[in-house]
Amino acid sequence: MAKKLAVIGAGLMGSGIAQVSAQAGWDVVLRDVTDEALARGKGGIASSFEKFVAKGKLAAAAAEEALGRITTTTDLDAVADADIVVEAVFEKIEVKREIFQALDKLAKDDAVLASNTSAIPITKIAAATSRPERVVGTHFFSPVPMMQLCELVRGYKTSDETLATAREFAESVGKTCVVVNRDVAGFVTTRLISALVVEAAKLYESGVASAEDIDVACKLGFGHAMGPLATADLTGVDILLHATENIYTESQDEKFAPPEIMRRMVDAGDIGRKSGQGFYAH
């Protein structure tokens, strides 16, 4: 019998997680707060499948079957028979805690409750439930169908069994997992990219090198696929500023103190590709 997955939030990440899971044979229920968000999410999945089919990477029948495994709802009660629930709503701790409080009441006793947060300590989310040992971080990367990594994050009380179930799930949808044993703010990946972007922005700000040269140095010197400033433009300077501020607040580690240029770029609306201007003009 196929396993049941519930995904909370049909945005960029939630729909990506629903897509790869349905393709891997999971029965998926995708939940968002409005029908419009659900239609957008499912529409995005359908057009992503179409692209894979057009490129010959997926059979049309398999795509149709996978799409048929995804149902949508605005009703949170739909999580009741899910083996795993993955939350992928806005990166706001109050919103996530409210959802986990509700999931605690609605989900099966043995369900694993996972969050796709990229930086919020899992312990803070798990503490909203009466079963923190069943709560874990499953941090997928964007775009989910293309990116191989899933960062699994242990909260203070996450059990070995929960971590093992989360790993089994992530591997079943084709991902390679790394385990974060203590849920420091930013985990491993967001901490590393934040440190690199902050230092790159400081070098650029102080005129040590141009944005292009900083990025070329990382690409050709270290074999990175993309330089840190181009990455900041792609991810959104605002998103990275927010992540870095959170890590700095929690760790009080000066290396995460965001440079003034990142704040001013965000104030000015130069947040990267989505606004047309960031460290580069797009």
Ligand X SMILES: NC(=O)c1ccc[n+]([C@@H]2O[C@H](COP(=O)([O-])OP(=O)(O)OC[C@H]3O[C@@H](n4cnc5c(N)ncnc54)[C@H](O)[C@@H]3O)[C@@H](O)[C@H]2O)c1
Binding site for ligand X (CB under 6 A): 8-14, 31-33, 37, 88-91, 95, 99, 116-118, 139, 141-142
Range list of β-strands (E), the chain: 4-8, 27-31, 70-73, 84-87, 112-115, 135-140, 149-154, 176-180
- Measure the CA–CA gap between 280 and 250, rounded to whole angstroms: 30
CB closer to ligand X, 14 vs 278? 14
Q: Do you find a cis peptide bond into 143, omega within 30 degrees of 0?
A: yes
Main-chain dihedrals φ then ψ at residue 118, nearest 5 degrees: -95, -10
Residue pair 246/267 in contact by the 8 Å Cβ criterion:
no
Closest distance between ligand X and the C-beta of residue 48, in Å?
A: 14
Name, in order, each residue with C-beta under 8 angstroms of 54's C-beta and a sequence gap of 6 or more.
none
CB closer to ligand X, 89 vs 203? 89
CB closer to ligand X, 4 vs 139? 139
Residue pair 121/111 in contact by the 8 Å Cβ criterion:
no
Q: Say if residue 184 is exposed, middle or buried (CB neighbours under 10 Å; 0-12, 13-18, 19+).
A: middle
- Measure the CA–CA gap between 258 and 251, rounded to whole angstroms: 13
Closest distance between ligand X and the C-beta of residue 184, in Å?
A: 16
Closest distance between ligand X and the C-beta of residue 91, in Å?
A: 4
Of all residues in the shown chain, the one whose CB is closest to ligand X is 11
Closest distance between ligand X and the C-beta of residue 143, in Å?
A: 8
Closest distance between ligand X and the C-beta of residue 35, in Å?
A: 11
CB closer to ligand X, 12 vs 184? 12
CB closer to ligand X, 38 vs 203? 38
CB closer to ligand X, 91 vs 133? 91
Closest distance between ligand X and the C-beta of residue 213, in Å?
A: 26
